């Protein structure tokens, strides 16, 4: 197991996907080149000129928001406000039907997976267990957290500066996702090193043009939030400052945890709706009743 404390903010920022930051503010569209456009008035005017009159108002809004977010990131850095931690392990594992079996310190931890009931575009009904061999394989398990931003957001709220509070909150969420992306890059290139010659290319990374996947708990392919308790049993999330509620919610909220699959044909997919037959089967494999599992899988029923 590897625990990484105080990851440098400057290493994480390049992995922020700003498209999702803007979406959180209900600003749709593509804003390529905004990273240099905000630097001075001349660059901003030149960048805005490429947008149609209809699109320009949103682009101006995005540019102002981006500039304010950059100022907040500089404050995070200059005043050493945020702490970014991560933990991961790469463990022996194998698949057993629709179950993933993780081996750690002489124990076997079984993590049941759900399977699509409506085929993907290629005609297959996927389960994450498909991306592990039936013996002698490996899986990665990870978590990361961005600490201290909730306290910072509360300060702004107490000053009735809700705009800045929201910037802090949305930045924290994007930094958590960026950290999971940064960590996945490090895993592929250095730690697990199943793709050791990979070069950093942010566009390729955002388009997921690399082998392997990192489904997080709550992703469409891993919708059962209760899986987080198995991950906690493996990683001991409190080591990096994450605590869990009885409903599997993480504190701080700017946290991400999930799994790494190295199989070159692994892919993201949406489990979607399941019937009561699969629910009953899955509940039995989870050691719970179908009624208990309904609350965790309400969106899939």
Measured from the Cβ of residue 38, the count of other Cβ atoms closer than 10 Å reads 20
Taking only the tens place, the pLDDT of each residue in 246-266 is: 999 999 999 999 999 999 999
Let me know if residue 50 belongs to a domain: yes
> Comparing C-alpha atoms, which of 239, 256, 1, 229 is closest to residue 146?
256
Q: How far is CA 274 from CA 61, 161, 196, 239, 281, in A?
A: 41, 44, 38, 35, 11
Query: Residue ranges of the alpha helices (H) in 109-161?
Result: 149-158
Find the domain containing 243 and state its range: 83-300
Q: Decide which of 78, 97, 128 is a domain's last residue.
A: 78
Let me know if residue 1 belongs to a domain: no
Indicate if 119 and 208 belong to the same structural domain. yes
Indicate if 158 and 296 belong to the same structural domain. yes
Cα gap 266→262, rounded to integer Å: 7
> Comparing C-alpha atoms, which of 171, 299, 182, 233 is closest to residue 244?
233
Question: Helix, strand or coil for residue 25?
Answer: coil
Q: What is the pTM of this model?
A: 0.93
Domain count, the chain: 2
Taking only the tens place, the pLDDT of each residue in 26-84 is: 998 888 888 888 778 888 888 898 888 888 888 989 999 999 999 999 999 999 999 99
Query: Peptide bond preceding 252: is omega within 30 degrees of 0, i.e. cis?
Result: yes
């Amino acid at each position: 197991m590897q625990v990484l404390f105080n990851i440098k903010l400057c290493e994480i920022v390049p992995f922020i996907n700003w498209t999702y930051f803007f979406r959180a503010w209900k600003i749709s569209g593509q804003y390529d080149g905004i990273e240099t456009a905000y630097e001075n008035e001349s660059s901003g005017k030149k960048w805005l000129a490429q947008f149609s009159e209809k699109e320009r108002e949103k682009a101006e809004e995005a540019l102002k928001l981006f500039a304010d977010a950059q100022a907040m990131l500089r404050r995070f850095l200059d005043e050493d406000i945020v702490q970014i931690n991560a933990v991961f392990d790469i463990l022996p594992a194998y698949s057993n039907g629709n179950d993933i079996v993780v081996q750690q310190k002489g124990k076997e931890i079984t993590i049941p997976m759900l399977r699509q009931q409506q085929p993907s575009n290629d005609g297959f009904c996927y389960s994450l267990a498909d991306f592990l061999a039936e013996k002698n394989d490996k899986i990665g398990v990870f978590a990361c957290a961005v600490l201290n931003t909730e306290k910072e957001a509360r300060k702004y709220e107490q000053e009735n500066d809700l705009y800045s509070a929201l910037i802090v909150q949305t930045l924290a969420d994007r930094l958590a996702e960026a950290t999971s992306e940064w960590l996945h890059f490090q895993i592929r290139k250095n730690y697990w090193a199943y793709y050791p010659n990979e070069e950093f290319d942010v566009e390729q990374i955002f388009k997921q043009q690399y082998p392997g996947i990192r489904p997080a708990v709550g992703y469409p392919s891993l919708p059962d939030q209760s899986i987080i308790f198995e991950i906690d049993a493996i990683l001991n999330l409190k080591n990096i400052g994450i605590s869990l509620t009885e409903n599997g919610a993480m504190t701080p909220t700017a946290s991400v945890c999930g799994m790494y699959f190295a199989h070159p044909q692994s892919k993201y997919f949406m489990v979607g709706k399941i019937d009561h037959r699969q629910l009953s089967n899955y509940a039995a494999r989870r050691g719970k009743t179908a009624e208990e599992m309904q609350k965790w899988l309400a969106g899939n029923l």
